[in-house]
Amino acid sequence: MSTADDKTDDADTDEELTDDDKDEKQHAEFVRMADQSLDRFRETHSEPQQQFIVDAFVETGEIPTGEAFGIEEVEAAVVMVAFEQHLDRNVLRQHGLTMATYMEHVDDADLPALRRAAAKGEWHVFHSHAQVIAAARKDGSAYSD
């Protein structure tokens, strides 16, 4: 059982954390919440329902929400934030990119394929893509028509 002293200790601990540590703690919490949401999704939706929702995400870039889909808006938002954080932390930074610099070079026509790769956890697709973008930015060819 949590006590007021526990909460005070947590607050004191948070104040002692560096900005990077706070960022890492927040990221870990998003990952935990996203994992819970995804586990619940897998447990409560049949394979055809899961596929329908993934296909809708691939097509639109949004996770369908509402009672008809059995997904709350907050769950979808947490999953999207966790995905973006994973992409930023575990892929883009390795290539000297941010989400903004990466997206400058992503063709809208490629978005469905990238979303499908994300839904499947095929992060190697993003590594390859980011590597090409980073090299093109470095040699200047990313800015020529």
Supply the range of the domain harboring residue 108. Answer: 4-143
For residue 1, give every residue at least 6 positions away whose Cβ sits within 8 Å of its Cβ, in sequence order, or none: none
Q: Are 76 and 92 in contact (CB under 8 A)?
A: no
| CA 74/CA 44 separation, integer angstroms | 17
pLDDT tens track for 17-74: 888 888 888 878 878 888 898 898 899 999 999 999 999 999 999 999 999 999 999 9
Residues 5-27 pLDDT 10s: 554 455 555 678 888 888 888 87
Residue 38, both tokens: 């995804």
User: One-letter amino acid identity for 3?
Assistant: T
Domain count for the chain, please give it.
1
Q: Is the pTM of this model over 0.85?
A: no
